[in-house]
Amino acid sequence: MSLARPFAEAASRAPDHPALIVTGADPTAPLTYGALLDRVRLAGAGVRALAAAKSATGDEAPPRVALRLGNRAELLVLFLGTVAAGGIVALLDPKWSAEQSAAALDTLRPDLLVDEATVADWLSSQGDTSADVPPFDLPFVDPATPFLIGFTSGTTGRPKAFIRNQASWLATLDASRAEFGIGPDDGVLVPGPLVHGLGLYGAVEGLSAGATVHVQAKFDAADAARRLADPAAALTTLVVVPTMLVGILDAAERAGLAFPALRRVVCSGAKLAPATHDRLLALCPGVTVLEYYGASELSFVSLRDSREGAPPDSVGRPFHGVELSVRDDDGHPVPTGQPGTVWVRSAMLSDGYLGPSDGSGFRARDGWGTVGDFGWIDAQGWLRLIGRAGDMLISGGLNVYPAEVEAVLRAHPAVAEAVVFGLPDPYWGDLVSAVLWWRSAARVGAEELRAWSHAHLEGYKAPRRLFAAADMPLTSSGKIARADIRDRARNGALEAIA
């Protein structure tokens, strides 16, 4: 079964139903499912022709199509068309530097690169959707066939390319259907970049379910708030990272807007701060918050559903179809309540990395996979995360995981968000430090924050230096730019909390 088949079946059931609406700098008219399927067929025919040309030279490998595009309808057309044709899509972030892009292309070696300058010409060369579209039956695709190469690199260095096969995403669609329940009657707003996993999956999930998917050409919090407040848009579902949700809530509160149709918020990429969760519920008392923990290499891992009463410091219980195991350094399961490395078993795991690996990140063993996250599971089955091996600080010879300290700071009534890191210190090694963003006009001092930390953490984990920030620098995926924040603290560019 092709990964594109759920979308094609949704289009055959309701060809006149609105499928995709792109708003922003270069808005497109709403595309119905029938019109979108016609475009996908044309793109797929072009990729099949590319595969035939490769085969004529004796190369039977699936064609690799690299997309360096912003949020536009063509990205989803090319994604679905390539997948339908049995090809492999690689997503390149247009915001990458020339060095990062060159490194990714060197790793990928694509058969076709489509970017903003070439996308219109390439698609038009495949035919005219106003004419009769040639038949394009979805070919049989071996479930083990790779279909996606994504990149997990943060902001610097050679991007690390992970590989997903068709079976893994079909299993992922089944799992999210069971947990999220998105269907044809839903309107799904995906304001984040489609070149990142949350945005791409949110859009494809919506199209596979027959929903109407709304995409912003560029994230605009005020526009998102207006659309969520518009009864005509009938937006029932919002797919966001926490920082984008904060921006949307800020815009809604400034304009006095409410979101009458919103039923669910799907959130990932970082832990949702309690303050943000409370603001959302105040605006939409009946909304369900579906906060999941996952990784590009693992897909879904756990889910914190606001209807289930999960402890606020947890990341929920295992996602549908997922088994969890917390293990020691030798790979043996640890007793309930003890910390260790979080291992995952499901049908959604990636195939690993493309090209040589430095040994960090994803690794697999006997059907189980991990990305090196540390955590523990309580007697009720709730998972807590402590941090990742590469993020660990060593302060006074003791291990400190920033995620654990951040969770405690975010729970303070005055704190909206927190980032924890180490500053070089000749005595401590890593001096545990934190940058905070305030929840409201209220401010508290360092003494109260340290007392709060000591009440919830071992003393050596409590931040010794505290800073306040007015703005929040973000990465292209909408996450907090931690390196930028750390550099500001080192350079004295942040307000010290006395």
**Segment 405-424, tens digit of pLDDT:** 998 999 999 999 999 999 98
> Which CATH superfamily groups domain 5-321?
ANL, N-terminal domain (3.40.50.12780)
Structure tokens at 183: 């269907």
Q: What pLDDT, in 10s, does the model give residues 28-56?
A: 578 999 999 999 999 998 999 999 999 99
Say if residue 148's pLDDT is above 90. Answer: yes
pLDDT at 445 > cutoff 50: yes
Span 457-473, mean pLDDT? 92
CB half-sphere exposure, 297, CA atoms < 13 A? 23
Nearest CA-CA partner of 4 in 181, 144, 176, 140: 140
3-state SS record for the chain: CCCCHHHHHHHHHCCCCEEEEEECCCCCCCEEHHHHHHHHHHHHHHHHHHHHHHHHCCCCCCCEEEEECCCCHHHHHHHHHHHHCCCEEEECCCCCCHHHHHHHHHHHCCCEEEECCCHHHHHHCCCCCCCCCCCCCCCCCCCCCEEEEEECCCCCCCCCEEEEEHHHHHHHHHHHHHHHCCCCCCEEEECCCCCCHHHHHHHHHHHHCCCEEEEECCCCHHHHHHHHHCCCCCCCEEEECHHHHHHHHHHHHHHCCCCCCCCEEEECCCCCCHHHHHHHHHHCCCCEEEEEEEECCCEEEEEEECCCCCCCCCCCEECCCCEEEEECCCCCECCCCCCEEEEEECCCCCCCECCCCCCCCCEEECCEEECCEEEEECCCCCEEEEEEHHHCEEECCEEECHHHHHHHHHCCCCEEEEEEEEEEECCCEEEEEEEEEECCCCCCCHHHHHHHHHHHCCHHHCCCEEEECCCCCECCCCCECHHHHHHHHHCCCCEECC
Q: How many CB atoms lie within 10 A of CB 411?
A: 16
Higher pLDDT, 159 or 379: 379
Q: What is the pLDDT of residue 425?
A: 85
Average pLDDT, stretch 398-410?
89
Q: Using one digit for the tens of pLDDT, what is the confidence trace for 170-180?
A: 999 999 999 99
The amino acid that residue 283 corresponds to is L
What pLDDT is recorded for position 358?
A: 64
Which range is least confidently modeled, 75-79, 88-92, 333-337, 358-362?
358-362
Question: What pLDDT is stored for residue 156 in this prediction?
Answer: 39
CA angle 179, 36, 349 (to 5 degrees): 35
pLDDT digits (tens, 9 = 90+) for 284-310: 988 999 999 999 999 999 999 999 999
Radius of gyration, alpha carbons of the chain: 23
Give the mean model confidence (pLDDT) for residues 310-334.
95
Name which of 146-160, 252-266, 473-487 the model is least confident about. 146-160
Q: Which of 124-128, 160-164, 394-398 has the highest mean predicted lDDT (pLDDT)?
A: 160-164
pLDDT at 281 over 80: yes
Name the pLDDT band for 428 (thresholds 50, 70, 90).
confident
The terminus-to-terminus CA distance of the chain in angstroms comes to 61
State the average pLDDT for the chain.
Answer: 90
User: Is a pLDDT exceeding 70 seen at residue 201?
Assistant: yes
Fold equal for 5-321 and 392-496: no
Domain spans, the chain? 5-321, 392-496
**Is 90 exceeded by the pLDDT of residue 103?**
no
Calculate mean pLDDT across residues 196-211. Answer: 96
Domain 392-496 is found in CATH 3.30.300.30: yes
Cα torsion 175, 136, 212, 216: sign: positive
Is residue 269 within 8 A of residue 478, CB to CB? The reply is yes
Task: Please check the confidence at residue 194 and state whether its pLDDT lies above 90.
Answer: yes
Q: Which residue has the higher pLDDT, 182 or 312?
A: 182
**Which of 21-30, 206-215, 223-232 comes out lowest in average pLDDT?**
21-30
Indicate whether 374 pLDDT > 80: yes
Task: State the Cα–Cα distance between residues 344 and 339, nearest whole angstrom.
Answer: 15
d(CA 411, CA 355): 41
Does the pLDDT of residue 129 top 80, yes or no? no
